[in-house]
Chain A
Amino acid sequence: MEPKEQFVQALKDSVTNTFSTILSVLPKVGEEQWHDKLFGACDTMVASVGLAGNLSGSLNFMIPKENAAKLVKKMLGSDTVSDQDVVDGIGEIINVLTGGFKMQVEREYVFQQSIPTVIQNAQGAEISSVTGADLTGVRLNCGEFEGYLLLSYSIGKNVPDEAAAPAKPKIIPQIILKDPKA
């Protein structure tokens, strides 16, 4: 299977598992041209996780802000959510989607994932790949909301060998126990 084909399948599997588990909704997941199908002039949120390893780039979840709020309300089972809840919720979704994608491709690709970044108020947002990188993705539709999961990637030749370039020794803070009676 070609890498692009494998990535699309991994994205589809991750979307299906994530949304059916968290929201009990089976999303429709399709492979479509996204360039002319993004969200026009509406406020869009983009949540991104960076990937670094023999697969590097970023995984990006794009969703209209109004739909993002609906999604997070459903996650929390609540009629109201704060703006911070929406940011946290969309960040958590891309985090889980990335973890699911990673598990699908772990035999061939080893990479670290960053903590999520969420961009708000992006009108008519569109993601394009830079020279040397490829772009693929899927469109998801859960009825009440739809979004895009886009992978911008570059494939390295070798599996990163941490032993070849040992990381600096990490200093782990010590837990200082404080006597509650003191």
Chain B
Amino acid sequence: MKILVVDDSGVQRKMIIQTIRKAGFQHEVLEAGDGQQAIQTLGTNFSEIGLVLCDWNMPNLSGIDFVEAIAKVPQVAKIPVFMVTSEGTQAKIEEAYAKHAGLAGYIVKPFTPEQLKSKIETFLK
């Protein structure tokens, strides 16, 4: 199983990967810097990706547009997807679930490694 981490900040991707490794998980991590890259990566690796962590505000194609695209394709719609974003208002959370009702969770930045781990570890075991 692979994990897809989508965030335009290389530092944020590194911090998420560090958390995954420190939690003891050695899954291969694929990285994408925007929604457009994420669409390509998911399309090529869809059968192996078991978890997606996705930022909201990104250049080219936003995370929420990528998540909407996931929801429209039955073969990938069941992959657990977490929004990992600084957009924490109630309106944004509701918008995310409206775009993808099957969203596995919504993680608001900033978060501690422990908070991230507790949200995603169920999906990594």
Contacts and interface: CB of A to CB of B under 8 A. Distances in A.
A76 B18 contact: yes
Given A22-B110, A76-B11, A76-B14, A172 B86 contact: no
Contacts of B48: 180
Interface string A98-109: 111011001000
Contacts of A177: 43, 46, 73, 75-76
A88 B15 CA distance: 12
B8 to A, nearest CB: 7
Given A106-B91, A170-B65, A175-B42, A85 B110 contact: no
Contacts of A178: 43-44
Contacts, number: 96
- Interface residues of A: mostly helix, strand, loop or mixed? helix
A72 B12 CA distance: 10
A21 B14 contact: no
Contact of A88 (B11, B42, B58, B86): B11
Contacts of B108: 99, 103
B59 A115 contact: yes
Interface residues of B, number: 41
A89 B75 contact: no
Contact of A174 (B8, B58, B59, B73): B73
Interface of A: 17-18, 21-22, 72, 75-77, 84-85, 88-89, 91-92, 95-96, 98-100, 102-103, 106, 110, 113-115, 170, 172-178, 180
Interface of B: 8-12, 14-15, 18, 36, 39, 42-48, 57-59, 61, 65, 68-70, 72-73, 75-76, 85-91, 108-112
Given A95-B9, A115-B8, A173-B65, 14 more contacts: A75-B15, A85-B10, A88-B12, A92-B11, A96-B86, A96-B109, A99-B88, A103-B88, A106-B89, A173-B36, A173-B61, A175-B46, A177-B46, A180-B48
